[in-house]
Copies of this chain bind each other. A is one copy, B any other.
Amino acid sequence: MSKLEKAITSIVEVFEECAGTDDDKRKLNNAELSTLIKTQLSSAEFRDKVDQEAVKEALEGIDKNRDGQVSFKEFSQCIAKLSNGYFIKKYGKEKGKGKH
């Protein structure tokens, strides 16, 4: 598989590893989410690379429907925001031309 395909499959694999501690393998409960953040999203090297506002926004807004759990769809949106935070730190925010 390519570098991008491996990245996509890794995102699912990490979610599975963290979501698997209780009987609902499809969702992260609060404890599983904090373990994921501590073990998978806390290295100093990564935190230096990513726009901190983007990290805060991505993690605070992760449980979009506020059901106390994080579905894979919500998780994948958080990952999209974090990768965007890395891109913004490298290239700066888009100048004015619309939202996209």
Contact with B along A70-96 (1 / 0, CB 8 A): 011110110111111011001100100
What distance in Å separates the Cβ of A58 from its nearest Cβ neighbour in chain B? 10
Name which residue of chain B comes closest to A72, CB basis: B87
- The answer to whether A46 touches B1, judged by C-beta atoms less than 8 angstroms apart, is yes
Q: In the docked arrangement, what's the CA distance between A15 and B83, Å? A: 11
Contacts of A39 in B (CB 8 A): 2
Contacts of A82 in B (CB 8 A): 8
- Contact (A72, B49) CB under 8 Å given A2-B41, A40-B5, A41-B5: no
How large, as a class, is the contact surface on chain A?
Answer: 35 or more
- Contact (A5, B46) CB under 8 Å given A26-B94, A83-B79: yes
Task: List residues of chain A with CB under 8 Å of any chain B CB.
Answer: 1-15, 25-26, 36, 39-43, 45-46, 49-50, 64-65, 67, 71-74, 76-77, 79-84, 86-87, 90-91, 94, 98-100
